[in-house]
A and B are shown apart, each in its own frame.
Chain A
Amino acid sequence: MSFQPVKFYQTGTFTVGNRLLVPEERSVQANMERTNSLNSGHRACQGCGEALGARYAIDAAMHATNNQLIAANATGCLEVFSTPYPETSWQIPWMHSLFGNAPAVATGIAAAIKIKRQKGLKDDVRVVAQGGDGGTTDIGFGCLSGMFERNDDVLYICYDNGGYMNTGVQRSSATPPAARTATTMPVGQQPGNVFGQGKFMPAIAMAHEIPYVATATVADLRDLEHKVKKAMTFRGARYIHILVPCPLGWGAASQDTIKLSRLAKETGTFPVFEAEYGELTNSSKIRRVLPVEEYLRPQKRFAHLFGKTPAVATLVRLQALADKNIRKYQLLDKEAN
């Protein structure tokens, strides 16, 4: 964990019991005065990783900004399940415009705030933009790159569930290789999503040399809270990419959302790290490296790899990708392994 020197290994996880901490170090979610920015009653599926990630992220951002936060939201699951007219789960000023423009809308909000501050607004209002992986890595990519390049004062949060789940589980450029989606069916010579395609947005964000880039999963929510709060200490463009399992799209049990998130990290499939101004500054180490198979097997989107004749060659390729992540993002805990 990046924010304190002592590691608490309890119940086989990194979770830190709040009662062991001094009050100011306790989690935002443990605070009686947490804002419930994304309030209960929304329409997300059981076990939705995105709903969980968004609640923690936005509550942490609210905490860090003294509740002076405005959010721009891309079209997608998060937008749809949180605001079925005339209801809304958002307890903060929130705006949805289009699928591909959340970063630019946020730029506009930040520009307006800057002028209002010049004209006497006392509150230091901050801006967050959020979207799924489709809205981020595909259709919103141009606007996101523009926002990064101008270094606009916006925190962009991508909730990555590896596909267009809202429209019925189609492939995005964040869909992992070999995964089954409605547009990469497990048929033909190369079942599932092809290898050698797709993009890893955090690396692209780093290439823009923006002040802060981080990845996180919903398995380590203290880490997520910490990164959101840390992001709010910077001015300029910031990017947090959160892996959020989708029980529907992944074909996983809804009670396995946290477990799968942890396995994604512990296998090296999803690297958890921080970077500042384009340079890697911190990696969340893997305690015990697990084979990718442990992450893949519980998910029906990879079921075709584990049939009567296991797709050994494909598994080897997926393992190689995880190993590469481990090297590239320095994920190995040398003490533990």
Chain B
Amino acid sequence: MLKQMEGSHAVAEAVALCRPEVICAYPISPQTHIVEGVGEMVKAGKITNCEFINVESEFAAMSVAIGSSATGARTYTATASQGLLFMVEAVYNASGLGLPIVMTVANRAIGAPINIWNDHSDSISQRDSGWIQLFAETNQEALDLHIQAFKLAEELSLPVMVCMDGFILTHAYERVDIPTQEQVDAFLPPYEPRQVLDTHAPVSIGAMVGPEAFTEVRYLAHEKQMQALDLIPKLAGEFKTIFGRDSGGLVRPYRTEDAETIVIAMGSVLGTIKDTVDEMRDAGVKIGVLGVISFRPFPLDAVREAIKHAKRVVVLEKTFAVGIGGILATDVRTSFFGFGIQIESYTVIAGLGGRPITKASLHELFEKAGRDDLPRLTFLDLDWKVVNKQLERERKMRRSGPAAENILRDVSSTAAHLG
């Protein structure tokens, strides 16, 4: 059914349709509307046979999820930003134990400085945690990916993170197609756990594993993610059969066939990039876009296949590895390194802490890239004046004070930071 609704509520509806059995959550912006939504549905009896637990921290949220999933309950939680970091120990534990928990991450920056707005630093920080990470481009895709995520998680016995841009998607009202319960039931069978705490067949879960077996257990986690590379497109296909639309998959190419320049990105910014690319295509520029939906496992083959004919890639990412540069860009380069493919690659850090990514800035950026006139690492719309002023201050004074507060003062005095 077509509905005009907030992204968070669309996700809540999707989760409800998946017949969750335990939902636990601790509030953090911009995840709140999702858990408020499912919480109300449980309380009102719209989701039946489901326990909603308000816990005291994100660490507890993931720990409750671990307990309930290990007892055979379909389990869901959601978090963002600092909350994800606070639960990290349990995040690794859930994947290490192979528990098919589904978690929404309403992507938000990580402090300090504290910042509630969108970028991808939170989930990307967990790229090596063993969780599958799927990035939604639109609210419709966020809704659809949750339905796929439960099936993917439970078939592999691995947890799945569905990442959606905080505020940009979670708080945006858009038209979404809400599937029927019959459709979802046809796609998603009841959860049949591989391992379960059962009084009639007692097992010990979480034993100490020494050097004699640890590598094998860890390799298995990698092997599972390699299986996911086959399963994700398969599920997207099944999904299309039942729901009648394309959603999910590993990557999504857009006008890449004859493109000399291919822009690679994840999440909602793909919309702005596609608009920019359309305008440049109209002007005769051979440019295309590759959206990465599955960040973990990273689809090396699919990415290489999509970009191998291009002259250059511009990887635009809403996060960065301090001290080296791109993260997605490094993964993209891994996809073609050693295959004898000559592609220039540029890393662009953009949209940190909610900084708007405008078509005007992208136009300029892509044109420069097209002329191979771009540094290897670019910080889009970085205000050099402000940065240099602070660097100068630190050179001059030992006690130069807290950097973030200095920069805030400098910015408010110029007030020209938003392009």
A residues engaging B (CB < 8 A)? 67-70, 72-73, 79-80, 83-86, 88, 90-98, 100-101, 104-116, 118-119, 123, 125, 142-143, 145-146, 149-150
Q: Which residues of B contact A105 (CB under 8 A)?
A: 63-64, 66-67, 70
Task: Flag if B63 contacts A109 (CB, 8 Å).
Answer: no
Interface pairs A-B: 3 shortest CB-CB = A108-B67, A146-B56, A104-B63
Q: A101-B60, A115-B51, A142-B59 are in contact. List 7 more A-B contacts (CB 8 A).
A: A69-B199, A93-B204, A96-B204, A101-B66, A107-B55, A111-B22, A150-B55
The residue of chain B having its C-beta at the shortest distance from the C-beta of A80 within the complex is: B208
A125–B90 CA distance with the chains assembled, in angstroms: 25
A329–B150 CA distance with the chains assembled, in angstroms: 52
Q: Does B251 contact A (CB under 8 A)?
A: no
A267–B208 CA distance with the chains assembled, in angstroms: 38
Q: Does B128 contact A (CB under 8 A)?
A: no
Q: Does B220 contact A (CB under 8 A)?
A: no
Q: Does B21 contact A (CB under 8 A)?
A: yes
A68–B73 CA distance with the chains assembled, in angstroms: 18
A90–B203 CA distance with the chains assembled, in angstroms: 8
CB distance from A36 to the nearest CB of B (A): 12
CB distance from B29 to the nearest CB of A (A): 21
Task: Flag if B59 contacts A100 (CB, 8 Å).
Answer: yes
A-B CB contact pairs (8 Å), 26 listed: A68-B199, A70-B199, A73-B206, A80-B208, A83-B204, A83-B207, A84-B208, A94-B202, A100-B59, A101-B66, A104-B64, A105-B66, A108-B73, A108-B75, A109-B67, A109-B197, A111-B68, A112-B22, A112-B51, A112-B67, A112-B71, A116-B72, A116-B73, A118-B49, A146-B55, A150-B55
Task: Flag if B208 contacts A93 (CB, 8 Å).
Answer: no
Task: Flag if A90 contacts B202 (CB, 8 Å).
Answer: yes
Beyond A83-B204, A115-B49, whether A92 also contacts B67 by CB under 8 A is: no
Task: Flag if A101 contacts B22 (CB, 8 Å).
Answer: no
Q: Which residues of A contact B70 (CB under 8 A)?
A: 95, 105, 108-109
Q: Does B53 contact A (CB under 8 A)?
A: yes
Interface residues of B in 43-64 (CB under 8 A from A): 49-51, 53-57, 59-60, 63-64
A125–B206 CA distance with the chains assembled, in angstroms: 20
Q: Does B2 contact A (CB under 8 A)?
A: no
Partner of B197, one of A70, A85, A100, A101: A70
Task: Flag if A108 contacts B24 (CB, 8 Å).
Answer: yes
Partner of A101, one of B49, B53, B63, B75: B63
Beyond A108-B64, A109-B71, whether A114 also contacts B51 by CB under 8 A is: yes
Q: Does B97 contact A (CB under 8 A)?
A: yes
Task: Flag if A97 contacts B202 (CB, 8 Å).
Answer: no
Task: Flag if B90 contacts A101 (CB, 8 Å).
Answer: yes
Q: Which residues of B contact A118 (CB under 8 A)?
A: 49
A145–B205 CA distance with the chains assembled, in angstroms: 25
Partner of B67, one of A85, A107, A115, A116: A107
A96–B93 CA distance with the chains assembled, in angstroms: 10
Task: Flag if A97 contacts B66 (CB, 8 Å).
Answer: yes
Contact with A along B136-178 (1 / 0, CB 8 A): 0000000000000000000000000000000000000000000
Task: Flag if A119 contacts B49 (CB, 8 Å).
Answer: yes
Interface residues of B in 67-114 (CB under 8 A from A): 67-73, 75, 89-90, 93, 97
A115–B65 CA distance with the chains assembled, in angstroms: 14
Task: Flag if A97 contacts B197 (CB, 8 Å).
Answer: no
Beyond A97-B67, A112-B68, A118-B49, whether A149 also contacts B56 by CB under 8 A is: yes
A48–B53 CA distance with the chains assembled, in angstroms: 37
Partner of A88, one of B49, B67, B207: B207
A247–B149 CA distance with the chains assembled, in angstroms: 50
The residue of chain A having its C-beta at the shortest distance from the C-beta of B217 within the complex is: A85
Task: Flag if B53 contacts A107 (CB, 8 Å).
Answer: yes
A112–B71 CA distance with the chains assembled, in angstroms: 6
Q: Does B209 contact A (CB under 8 A)?
A: yes
Contact with A along B317-358 (1 / 0, CB 8 A): 000000000000000000000000000000000000000000
Q: Which residues of A contact B68 (CB under 8 A)?
A: 108-109, 111-112
Q: Which residues of B contact A84 (CB under 8 A)?
A: 207-208, 210
Q: Does B418 contact A (CB under 8 A)?
A: no
Task: Flag if B205 contacts A96 (CB, 8 Å).
Answer: yes
Partner of B22, one of A72, A96, A108, A146: A108
The residue of chain B having its C-beta at the shortest distance from the C-beta of A152 within the complex is: B53
Partner of B205, one of A69, A91, A95, A142: A95
Q: Does B364 contact A (CB under 8 A)?
A: no
CB distance from A204 to the nearest CB of B (A): 15
A40–B89 CA distance with the chains assembled, in angstroms: 32
Task: Flag if A115 contacts B21 (CB, 8 Å).
Answer: yes
Q: Which residues of B contact A111 (CB under 8 A)?
A: 22, 24, 51, 53, 64, 67-68, 73
Task: Flag if B60 contacts A104 (CB, 8 Å).
Answer: yes
Task: Flag if A107 contacts B64 (CB, 8 Å).
Answer: yes
CB distance from B139 to the nearest CB of A (A): 29
Q: Which residues of B contact A85 (CB under 8 A)?
A: 207-210, 213
Q: Does B198 contact A (CB under 8 A)?
A: yes
The residue of chain B having its C-beta at the shortest distance from the C-beta of A82 within the complex is: B204
Task: Flag if B208 contacts A90 (CB, 8 Å).
Answer: no
CB distance from B209 to the nearest CB of A (A): 5
Beyond A70-B71, A93-B203, whether A98 also contacts B49 by CB under 8 A is: no
The residue of chain B having its C-beta at the shortest distance from the C-beta of A83 within the complex is: B207
Q: Which residues of B contact A90 (CB under 8 A)?
A: 202, 204
Task: Flag if A108 contacts B66 (CB, 8 Å).
Answer: yes
A93–B203 CA distance with the chains assembled, in angstroms: 5
Task: Flag if A143 contacts B72 (CB, 8 Å).
Answer: no
CB distance from B123 to the nearest CB of A (A): 21
Beyond A70-B197, A145-B56, whether A115 also contacts B202 by CB under 8 A is: no
A149–B208 CA distance with the chains assembled, in angstroms: 31
Q: Which residues of B contact A146 (CB under 8 A)?
A: 55-57, 60
The residue of chain A having its C-beta at the shortest distance from the C-beta of B198 within the complex is: A93
Q: Which residues of B contact A150 (CB under 8 A)?
A: 53-55
Q: Which residues of A contact B73 (CB under 8 A)?
A: 108, 111-112, 115-116
Task: Flag if B67 contacts A104 (CB, 8 Å).
Answer: yes
The residue of chain A having its C-beta at the shortest distance from the C-beta of B97 within the complex is: A97
Q: Which residues of B contact A115 (CB under 8 A)?
A: 21-22, 49-51, 73
A111–B208 CA distance with the chains assembled, in angstroms: 26
The residue of chain A having its C-beta at the shortest distance from the C-beta of B56 within the complex is: A146
Task: Flag if B208 contacts A83 (CB, 8 Å).
Answer: yes
A80–B209 CA distance with the chains assembled, in angstroms: 10
Task: Flag if A79 contacts B208 (CB, 8 Å).
Answer: yes
CB distance from B19 to the nearest CB of A (A): 10
Partner of B89, one of A79, A98, A123, A145: A98
Q: Which residues of B contact A68 (CB under 8 A)?
A: 199
A129–B272 CA distance with the chains assembled, in angstroms: 50
Task: Flag if B55 contacts A104 (CB, 8 Å).
Answer: yes
A105–B64 CA distance with the chains assembled, in angstroms: 5
Task: Flag if B93 contacts A97 (CB, 8 Å).
Answer: yes
Q: Which residues of B contact A98 (CB under 8 A)?
A: 63, 89-90, 93
